[in-house]
Structure 1
Amino acid sequence: MQTAAPGEPLAVTLAEPRDFFNLMKPRVMSLVIFTAMTGMIVAPGHLHPVLAFIGLLAIAVGAGASGVLNMAYEGDIDALMRRTATRPVPSGRVSAVEAQSFGLVLAVFSVMVLGLAVNWLAAALLAFTIFFYAVVYTMWLKRFTAQNIVIGGAAGALPPIIGWAAVTGDVGLYPVLLFLIIFLWTPPHFWALALFVKEDYGRAGVPMLPNVVGDAATRRQIFAYSLVLAPLGVTPFLFGYATPFYGGAAIVLGGLFVWRAVGVLREREADRHHAARALFGYSIVYLFAIFSVLLLDAAVGPSLAHWVASR
């Protein structure tokens, strides 16, 4: 594969299937699939396994559509950042028009399949998620405000609600709590990344928080959000939706998040953002772990609680 310095176009090459797959941001898709599946599993009621699979696939494709439309629009700024310059659009392997058409087809397909196979509330929530990420976040928030991640994080936080709605046909407090966990997780996760790639964002003119208010203020914001996120992660237990098994795990995971955030708060420029890198890595572990424990708790928690009570 050819390479070039940020901002310099690469020679046009023939697109491969993997280029269109990469446009869908598969790593982000994996998170969406996992959190949506969690919403489905913890929801009361029953959805036929085949319909559940179709619904989950539609949600995954909808997430992919959001990623494709995002990359179709951001080719100009992606070309200026080292970590994104080799993506299919800025590298010239896929044109912005091709990416946009691909994304729109995926979006319509995913929403229609979810509506026809499962229910239209889940489909409407998926359509709103795609619109919010592709239009509100990508076309407006990301380029014009340092609060882009805070507001835009709503799109990435909706999958548990969509999964819940796919099973129940409504929205309850429990999926809203899961939404809030992801929503409050998003700023410290992305701001930790922004601390050690701020030169990239600066080169592209993206107003990420470190580029606008500086590193010190960003570290304080990361710490503040972490202080809110840690207790919020325990709320499924506090509201009676999960057992003490989950509650204890959430306390430990949240405590480790705050500990990492303290490291970021104390970090200085000479440290070369080691603490920020550590928090960014742990934040991914945290989210997957918290939802994994929720799934495990839903599977064995009640039986375990009954066994403990009978001793």
Structure 2
Amino acid sequence: MAHATLTHPDIDVAGEATVADYVALLKPRVMSLVIFTALVGMAIAPTGLHPVLAGISLLAIAVGAGASAALNMWWDADIDAVMTRTRNRPVPTGRVQPEAALAFGMALSVGSVLTLGLTANWLAAGLLAFTIWFYAHFYTVVLKRRTAQNIVIGGASGALPPVIGWAAMTGSLAVPPLVLFTIIFLWTPPHFWALALLKNEDYTRAGVPMLPVVAGPTATRWQILLYAVVLVPAGISPWFLGFAGPAYLAVSVVAGAVFLAGAVNVLVRREGKAAARACGQLFGFSLIYLFLLFATLLGERIAGLV
């Protein structure tokens, strides 16, 4: 990957980076979701590693996710500088120089993949390497600035951690982790498009062709509802496929109904504060929805109910 130097007038190139700035490059909130979903992928696997090796493997997956985030921030610094949501990130503010962010991301990428390969197996390491490349290059460089389907296609990278977790434990692939991949993959567009509706002016100013910018708010609202309709049965499917119990069935049905109601609310409420509130509520609940599903899967395994 090659990238032009930053030219935005608000960037201060004289700042000094702190440890907190480098932690921010890892997108710790996103990393926490990666850690959690990868952990569930590990927990539902029929075989396992020694707890110490499993812990190191989980850490390697988390670091790999952070590495791709750092590379994303390096490439997208020009966009981040003009968006209110991202303009205080370390690279656009000048606290971390672009070359340092690039070196940091590349070092963590190589280190995390090698660590996972040596600790668990090379299938898991290969999947982690693919995930880093997919997010840092294919999504960030190729898709994000070219197509309104950037989130749809790029969402595959965020959906892979449970597959990597399963592969780390078993050295193979199977239906359960692929189902979890599908759930996250279908969840990603409505989750991000709800936010994009709220931040439409930001994306327009930055020239990022998010769906609300390209197709308009109405088409985006219908797409959110369409994905929600498909997501809800996918979210229930682990019970039908036999790797989730009755507690998961109850949680997935209730949470799915709330998610679907939130998508309908976004479609119906299209003006003013009511529209913004509906989008904000769906965005917030979408995080709760995914957490509830994966936490219930994990809880059932710990309790020996499945």
TM-score range, shorter chain: over 0.9
RMSD: 1.1
**Residue 240 of structure 2: which of 230, 235, 238 is its match?**
238
Q: 2:296 aligns to what?
A: 293
Misfit runs of 4+, over 6 Å: none
Q: Which amino acid aligns with 1:242?
A: A
* Aligned length in residues: 298
Q: Are 2:71 and 1:90 equivalent residues in the alignment?
A: no
Name the SS of the counterpart of 1:294 in structure 2. helix
> How far apart are 1:300 and its partner, in Å?
2.2
Q: Which amino acid aligns with 2:286?
A: S
What is the 5 A alignment of 1:43-192?
43-192=45-194
Distance 1:46 1:53 in 2: 11
Distance 2:261 2:25 in 1: 35
Name the SS of the counterpart of 2:88 in structure 1. coil
Q: TM-score, normalised by structure 1?
A: 0.94
> How far apart are 1:269 and its partner, in Å?
2.0
> How far apart are 1:253 and its partner, in Å?
0.8
> How far apart are 1:272 and its partner, in Å?
4.4
Distance 1:13 1:77 in 2: 19
Q: Which amino acid aligns with 1:276?
A: C
Question: Gapped runs of 5+ residues in structure 1?
Answer: 1-5, 304-311
Q: 2:260 aligns to what?
A: 258
Distance 1:135 1:236 in 2: 32
Distance 1:290 1:195 in 2: 25
Q: TM-score, normalised by structure 2?
A: 0.95
Q: 2:285 aligns to what?
A: 282
Q: Which amino acid aligns with 2:184?
A: I
- Indicate if the aligned counterparts of 1:192 and 1:277 stay in contact, CA closer than 8 A: yes
Cα distance per residue 1:41-91 (max 9 Å; x no partner): 010012100000000000000000010000000000000101111100000
Cα distance per residue 1:262-297 (max 9 Å; x no partner): 100101222341100000000011111110001011
**Residue 39 of structure 1: which of 29, 38, 41 is its match?**
41
> How far apart are 1:302 and its partner, in Å?
2.4
Distance 2:276 2:304 in 1: 39
Name the SS of the counterpart of 1:109 in structure 2. helix
- Indicate if the aligned counterparts of 1:243 and 1:301 stay in contact, CA closer than 8 A: no
Cα distance per residue 1:118-156 (max 9 Å; x no partner): 100000000000000000000011000000000000000
Q: Which amino acid aligns with 2:92?
A: P
- Indicate if the aligned counterparts of 2:39 and 2:58 stay in contact, CA closer than 8 A: yes
